[in-house]
Amino acid sequence: MTDDASKIDEIEARRAERKAATATARNAQYAIDVAKIDELEVQHGDDRIAVLKMPSFVAGLPTVVVVRTPEPSKFERFRQMVRKANGAAEAQGAAKDLLAASCIVYPDEETYKRMREAWPSIHDNAGMEAIRLGEAVGKA
């Protein structure tokens, strides 16, 4: 075996070992997360929450964020803020951010803050899910 082939094999073995350890850690965290998802489905209703899966794994952070359907008063506040924004994107974004913050049910606030550092657009996605959960869809 050539030196290059030997180096490649060593590197591939390290990569495989690292990826296996990451998968094991991700699965352990997901077991915690899925238990919480089940609890929240029972508490809020199976179709009254949305689960956002993280695109990558960061040790010490959940693999998901759970958003619940907004309370009517929170959704009305969002609608009023959007109307008052009169098309101003910054004000509309602030309305969506406020709605998202009121609808995150997992993880806790401090953990979610750390998640926002790891995945900067997560709060936008949580806001969109909160809006989606608060709307009617389709025709009867």
Please count the residues of the chain. Answer: 140
Contact 65, 108 (CB under 8 A): no
Mapping DSSP to helix (H, G, I), strand (E, B) and coil, where does residue 81 land? helix
Q: At what angle do helices 122-134 and 72-85 cross, to 10 degrees?
A: 110
For the stretch 47-88, pLDDT in tens is 999 999 999 999 999 999 999 999 999 999 999 998 888 878
pLDDT above 80 (res 1): no
CA dist 120 to 67, 96, 112, 114, 123, Å? 17, 15, 11, 10, 7
What is the C-alpha to C-alpha distance for residues 92 and 86, in angstroms, rounded to an integer?
9
For the stretch 80-134, pLDDT in tens is 998 888 878 888 889 999 999 999 999 999 999 999 999 999 999 999 999 999 9
Would you state the structure tokens that stand for residue 10, as one six-digit string? 């060593």
Contact 52, 65 (CB under 8 A): yes
Is domain 3-134 annotated with CATH 3.30.2220.10? yes
Would you state the structure tokens that stand for residue 39, as one six-digit string? 């609890």
